[in-house]
Chains A and B, each alone.
Chain A
Amino acid sequence: MLIKESFGPSDFERLVDEENATASRLIFTDQSILDIEQEKVFTKAWLYVGHDTEIPNVGDYVTRQMALDPVILVRAEDGKPQVLLNSCSHRGTQVCGTDVGNTKGFVCPYHGWVFGLDGGLKATADDMDLYEGKVDFKTLDLTKAAQVGSYAGLIFATWNEEADSLEDYLGDARWYLDLFHNRTPEGMEVLGPPQRWVVNTNWKLGAMNFAADGPHAVQVHGPITAATFNVPPSIFRDALVDSPAVSMGNGHNGIFTQIPEVLKDQVPPYLGTYPDLIPVLESHLDPKQTELNRHLLAGVTTMFPNFSSVQGAITFDNESLPVNFLGIRVWQPISATETEIWNWFLVEKEAPQEWKESAAKAGVRTFTPCGTFDQDDAEAWVAINKGISGTMSRKGDINFQMALAYRDKTIPDFPGPGRAYPSNYGEVTEFDVLLEWQKYMKT
């Protein structure tokens, strides 16, 4: 039995060591730290809840999680997305028990209280008058998120009334989100409902891996990259070593892997893009965004705390042209060592149906629990959890010290905002997620 420590704000100063680029192993295994995170991170930050195209019409809803809290994302009568705690104000029952639907309101399955699309209590079945006027029903609406906002179709919510607006929270990261979510006039749509699976690991390991971990890619994904992209691991490695990683501010980070120099003559620009959309992309994005986008092989990002995305171009028959998949996911904490991944794929609304099907297949075969990339990543994260949970093995640090070599090397003339570093291998951006986490935990 491990002795439980109790952690106060000042402890988080030492649990992540900025100077030394290390972090205590405890922050990935200790349940009391996860409990503190729930309050300090997940009730304070903006959290991803769903895509605009998942709830196109008034009354459309989906049920989601904001960390441990079940919520309903619904398009209210005013046409705006609304986020309601999925917990009845009477006895706490979940008022909505399905994945997706359309409704005029929510009827609690226990005693039949009825709530409108805005969460307002409409009726307590036929029992209203039995309360003899002693209860103020106005106080019994469903709890609403303090703020709901959306950017490029991505809907976020926060329980924090004092949080900056979503625009300010995303800040410079919007410039990078545009590359994936705001690259055509009509924007992106989800291809299907979310896929969900549970991995025995801490949510931060996933968020950090997508922020992103360059050095694992050749070791873990070298063979599948060789098989699907016809690129030998050495060239893949060079591409990663020479491609930029960006800290966008507010804990948002990512890597933008470029087509290797030696292949630029053979590989057409905008690899994986539907050909007719290439001129559309070029005119919709600004020239500096285009500069980063033109020879993009893969882009992997995490918006703090737990919303990530991955794009890559892939072909599974070595004959047809590669097709981009764009996956987005949320790393939902369940416990210190369990994470539920929610995963969606997106495509340009303007793309023809056939292309959308290809994009879905490219995604399913790569970044899902049955996907040829993801299945190997998850294996490593579980192995970390196993490797750091003992009496001796939980002592000491997790190491990001490649950052010591790279953190002062920013690219001066980089086209995008934020701090850009010259290598996907730098570990600076991956570690930056923990530095942001530390800020929240210290308050």
Chain B
Amino acid sequence: MTSTVSETEYRELSNFLFAEADLLSDHNYVEWEKLLAEDLHYKIPIPQFLEQKGARQIGTIGTDNYNDNIDSMRIRLNLLKNPATTTSERVRSLLNHVVGNVLVSKVSDNEYECKSTITVHRTRFNQKHPTTISGRRTDLIRRTDIGFQLVKRHVKLTQAILMTSNVSYFF
């Protein structure tokens, strides 16, 4: 079941995505973690360039940049909450998460599919120009007693070769 949503619902879900992006740009992983559902699936596959004719896949599993459940996400977040434990964020990066093109549809009584675009600018200390990576997100967001929660996020990046030494942040 997919149905359109009211103005109020659209506003609520958009606000959720904006606030969530703001937490990520602030490196506020304590609050961001609270927005994650226990059945989280966070996945960012690598894009492929294929011919129309003769297209085929390598391997039976595929390759991802991220493929996390709540347990592995918590391990990542525990490192990032305490930057002394991870060289890549010991000195905090400057981050700017820009969300756009928000589209919302209702897929069950309490769940919404939200599509949006995400562009993340990141600058490390000593780095002249930000690294910019963007993607198209499809989220499953659940309304719960304690507010909205992110259940699934699938991001199609617009970059196959990442021009950065590490991605220790989220989309």
User: Which residues of A come within 8 Å of B, CB atoms?
Assistant: 53-54, 59-60, 62, 97-103, 189-201, 220, 223-224, 227-228, 316-317, 340, 344-345, 353, 356-357, 360-361, 364-365, 368-370, 372, 374-376, 378-382, 386
Q: Which of B58-112 contact A (CB under 8 A)?
A: 58-69, 71-72, 75-76, 78-79, 82, 84-88
Known: A196-B160, A220-B87, A227-B79. A379 touches B166 (CB 8 A): yes
Q: Is the CB of A227 within 8 A of B87?
A: no
| Top 8 A-B residue pairs of the complex, sorted by shortest distance between their CB atoms | A192-B63, A223-B85, A375-B166, A378-B165, A317-B71, A316-B72, A376-B87, A197-B162
Closest chain-A Cβ to B9's Cβ sits at a distance in Å of 32
User: Which residues of B come within 8 Å of A, CB atoms?
Assistant: 44, 46, 48-51, 53-69, 71-72, 75-76, 78-79, 82, 84-88, 126, 160-168
CA distance A103 to B55 in the complex (A): 9
List residues of chain B with CB within 8 A of the CB of A98.
49-51
List residues of chain B with CB within 8 A of the CB of A190.
58-59
List residues of chain A with CB within 8 A of the CB of B44.
370
In this complex, the member of A59, A201, A364, A365 whose beta carbon has the largest number of chain B beta carbons within 10 angstroms is: A364
Closest chain-A Cβ to B20's Cβ sits at a distance in Å of 19
Q: Is the CB of A369 within 8 A of B166?
A: yes
Q: Is the CB of A60 within 8 A of B56?
A: yes
Q: Is the CB of B59 within 8 A of A227?
A: no
Closest chain-B Cβ to A344's Cβ sits at a distance in Å of 8
Closest chain-B Cβ to A315's Cβ sits at a distance in Å of 9
Q: Is the CB of A198 within 8 A of B161?
A: yes
List residues of chain A with CB within 8 A of the CB of B165.
197, 199-201, 369, 375, 378-379, 381-382
Closest chain-B Cβ to A352's Cβ sits at a distance in Å of 11
Q: Is the CB of B71 within 8 A of A369?
A: no
**Complex partner residue of B61 from A220, A356, A382, CB under 8 angstroms:** A356
Q: Is the CB of B48 within 8 A of A193?
A: yes
Q: Is the CB of B61 within 8 A of A99?
A: no
CA distance A253 to B67 in the complex (A): 31
List residues of chain B with CB within 8 A of the CB of A374.
166
List 5 A–B pairs whose Cβ atoms lie within 8 Å, in order of A's numbering: A101-B50, A191-B62, A368-B65, A378-B88, A380-B87
CA distance A316 to B68 in the complex (A): 10
In this complex, the member of B62, B84, B86, B87 whose beta carbon has the largest number of chain A beta carbons within 10 angstroms is: B87
Known: A100-B56, A101-B55, A364-B67. A197 touches B164 (CB 8 A): yes
